[in-house]
Chains A and B, each alone.
Chain A
Amino acid sequence: MTLVRIDNRLIHGQIIETWLPYTGAKNVVVANDELAHDILQQEIMSLAIPQAVKSSFVTVDEVPATMSRLFSAPGDHDAIILFSNCADARRAFDSGLDFHVLNIGNVHYSPGKRQISPSVALSDEDETCLRHLNRKGVELDFRCVPNDPVQVRF
């Protein structure tokens, strides 16, 4: 299965210890404009990824093309696609990344945001992005880790 997730920390313990085993994915695609140009940070993040799992770091605009390349290559196609914020996920969807479920894991709090679950705080802009995706038929799945109950739905 392929998981599309918003997580402001991108690759970290929850991904490595829970989502990778749960999904069985052999690919992790990190879609983040900043990280796509930061080799050191990429190396740090990929240090703890199990050897059997392939990681790629691409800009948000490159995600649809990266996924078609992944699906056309032989082997295991299951992937975890990580965005650090709602706007990036929306941008990828609007530019052709097809997904039906969006997992919202960690969206950190800052002043002016509304805390809607223990790990998710949304600004007005975040909500607009999620509502847009929801209207387009994307199911919103607010979960930090696979065993969490799905907490909020729009």
Chain B
Amino acid sequence: MAAKTDKKDVVIGVVLVTHGTFGESLLQAAEMVMGPQENCLAVGIDVQKGVDEALEGVRKAIQSLEQGKGVLALTDLFGGSPTTMSLSLMKSENLEVITGVNLPMVVAALQARSMKLPELAEKVMEAGQQGIKVAGAMLRKKAKK
């Protein structure tokens, strides 16, 4: 049924670019919450390998995810190699890069992929920030009331 798959909505690709297997595990965790996902990939940067080789790996992943609406790269550490490598691809790819990835961000990114890239980026950043709470203190406060 080729005709049917052709009609599938075009979505923004999501790539997790991280140190080691962090991205892979995050994606697995997100799929535990949301079920299996399509058009997303995790690329682990192996620091033992050369920069060029790693960069090509990220580029290939981004290009395989591109459906025409761009790709969102979620990276771990601002200033780290996965982030700088992703940033250096912005010149050639339709790409936005967000750092500090956490699970709420991955979930938000996968949920709203029919949005436009800048709006999705904004939403993902907010989800990431809102996901951080000193929850114990919130609970203690509530219990006092």
A-to-B contact residues, CB < 8 Å:
8-9, 11-13, 16-17, 40-41, 44-45, 47-49, 106, 108-110, 118-119, 121
Contact = CB atoms under 8 A, between A and B. Distances in A.
Nearest to B49: A108
Contacts of A121: 48
Contacts of B19: 13
Interface residues of B, number: 16
Interface secondary structure of A, over-half rule: loop
A47 B87 contact: yes
Interface of B: 19, 47-51, 77-81, 83-84, 87-88, 91
B88 A44 contact: yes
B81 A9 contact: yes
Contact of B50 (A48, A49, A110): A110
Given A40-B91, A47-B87, A108 B48 contact: yes
B51 A13 contact: no
Contact of A13 (B48, B77, B87, B88): B77
A13 B50 contact: no
Given A17-B77, A108-B50, A109-B48, A48 B88 contact: no
Nearest to A40: B91
B89 to A, nearest CB: 10
A44 B84 contact: yes
Contact of B51 (A9, A118, A119): A9
Contacts of A9: 47, 51, 81
Contact of A12 (B80, B88, B91): B80
Given A44-B84, A47-B79, A48-B78, A119 B49 contact: no
A106 B91 CA distance: 27
Given A12-B79, A16-B79, A106 B47 contact: yes
A16 B84 CA distance: 13
A48 B48 contact: no
B109 to A, nearest CB: 22
Considering the complex of A and B, which 8 residue pairs feature the smallest CB-CB distances, nearest first? A48-B79, A13-B80, A16-B79, A12-B81, A44-B87, A108-B50, A13-B77, A48-B78
